Homo-oligomer: A and B are copies of this chain.
Amino acid sequence: MAVIVQKYGGSSVADAQKIMNVARRVAETTAGGHRLVVVVSAMGKTTDSLVALAHQITPTPDPRETDMLLATGEQVTIALLAMALHSLGFKARSFTGAQVGLVTDAAHTKARIRRIGGERVRAALEAGEIVIVAGFQGVSPDNEITTLGRGGSDLTGVALAVALPADVCEIYTDVDGVYTADPNVVPDARKLPRISYDEMLEMASLGAKVLQSRSVEFAKKYGVPVHVRSTFKADPGTLVTREDSGMEEAVVTSVTHDRNQAKVSILRVPDRPGVAAQVFGAVADQNIVVDMIVQNISRDGFTDMSFTLPRGDRARSVAALEDVARRVGAEGVQFNDRVAKISIVGVGMRSHSGVAARMFAVLSKEGVNIQMISTSEIAVSCVVDDKYAELAVRALHEAFELGRER
């Protein structure tokens, strides 16, 4: 008899009818004799509405009070889902983050999990109850309500699966798995039955929105299998798990793209120690997370630095950088909002050479100019003009034969 953690996102529980549907799905799983812990998010756009309400009061709501406010969203869903399961004749009991002993640090709105007690969850499972847990929330050692940041409910699910322990953490979402590329862009994109934690991590950071990176890191660290699947279909989805021998046959697993990026360059920066720290310190001070960073070789004691960042943060970043440029004696700042990042991902790259070269050749053949390049052990990313994004993804998907069943 397996212990299974299932996590349902906000769109899966957006109204009473959808909550009833989730209850039926949960009930079917228990019919298999399994013990079930269900983690849920706030209903639909509830979190956004609560944030908007706070902003009617003040443009800068206090983080502690923001957590007090936002934690109510998940608490509503757990109570309703418990009622729904009761109405189907099942024993079920809901718990807040505090009640399951999900203890975090005190970093409100982006708290990190320290430990999960889980005693009440285990006791309820022993008593034959379906356990329902509010995602996204925890409690600090000082008994303050905290939240885990965007996508935090995935993390709650994975962390509970580690703590119990559970055999698998199933993440239910509105897509039915992880694909070789975005099916909206590539018609013959193929659902991957299995993928490694590292590949999923790269894909998450490279624009695939299926799973939050922190929850994948957590799952990898503790070796919990994560099954990404659809709320609305019974088919199996994609199992995110440890690498196995079968995975290495494919050099490239998927092509991702991220069209939500801007490129910023700071030109002719004096190449001396401490300058890079000043430049990126200025951006970090704005709480902006920089993605790719490229620094060219130095000529005559000067260099160019380029980086990508979320498009919404570009204006603030440029303002901060113009200031820094003056201070360090750089020539100036340029930006481009119309770029896309195209990446190929695959654990097989570790043992295969020439993959990056082949990617560049494919793009070149399609007449796509590469503006920036960055590589990791299992991924290669190119920044290109946004207008080539779809063309590039389709060409790479075909060249690496990702649509072919293996």
- Assuming the contacts A16-B53, A57-B20, A143-B99, asked whether A79 and B86 have C-beta atoms less than 8 A apart, the reply is no
- Say whether A87 faces chain B, with CB atoms less than 8 Å apart: yes
A86 contact from B62, B75, B76, B94, Cβ within 8 A: B62
Given contacts A58-B84, A58-B86, contact A50 B65 (CB under 8 A): no
B54, A68: Cβ atoms closer than 8 Å: no
Residues of B within 8 A of A53 (CB): 16, 76, 80
Q: Which residues of B contact A75 (CB under 8 A)?
A: 68-69, 71-72, 75
Q: Does A178 contact B (CB under 8 A)?
A: no
Determine if A57 and B80 form an interchain contact, defined as CB atoms under 8 angstroms apart: yes
Contact A76 B72 (CB under 8 A): yes
The reply on A201 being an interface residue by CB < 8 A is no
Say whether B58 contacts A68, CB under 8 Å. Answer: no
Whether B68 and A87, one on each chain, are in contact in the complex, defined by CB atoms closer than 8 angstroms, is: no
Q: Which of B50, B58, B87, B93 contacts A87 (CB 8 A)?
A: B58
Say if the beta carbon of A61 comes within 8 Å of chain B.
yes
Answer yes or no: A83 CB below 8 A from chain B CBs: yes
**How far is B58's CA from A66's CA once the two chains are assembled, in angstroms?**
31
* A37 contacts partner chain B, Cβ-Cβ < 8 Å: no
A57-B143 in contact given A68-B78, A68-B82 (Cβ < 8 Å): no
User: Does the CB pair B62–A83 fall under 8 Å?
Assistant: yes
**CA of A74 to CA of B278, assembled, Å:** 46
Q: Is A210 an interface residue (CB 8 A)?
A: no
Question: Which residues on the B side are within 8 Å of A94 (C-beta)?
Answer: 65, 68
The yes or no answer to A211 lying at the interface (CB within 8 A) is: no
Mark contacts of A70-109 with chain B using CB atoms, 8 A cut-off: 1 yes-contact digit, 0 otherwise: 0110011011101110110000011010110000000000
Are the C-beta atoms of B99 and A57 separated by less than 8 Å?
Answer: no
Return the 5 tightest CB-CB contacts between A and B, nearest first: A69-B79, A16-B56, A72-B72, A68-B79, A58-B87
Binding site for B on A (CB under 8 A): 16, 19-20, 50, 53-54, 56-58, 61-62, 64-66, 68-69, 71-72, 75-76, 78-80, 82-84, 86-87, 93-94, 96, 98-99, 143, 145
Residue pairs across A and B with Cβ atoms less than 8 A apart, 26 shown, are: A16-B53, A16-B56, A16-B57, A19-B57, A20-B57, A53-B80, A54-B80, A57-B83, A58-B84, A58-B86, A61-B83, A61-B86, A62-B82, A62-B83, A62-B86, A65-B79, A65-B83, A65-B86, A68-B78, A68-B94, A69-B75, A69-B76, A71-B75, A72-B72, A72-B76, A99-B143
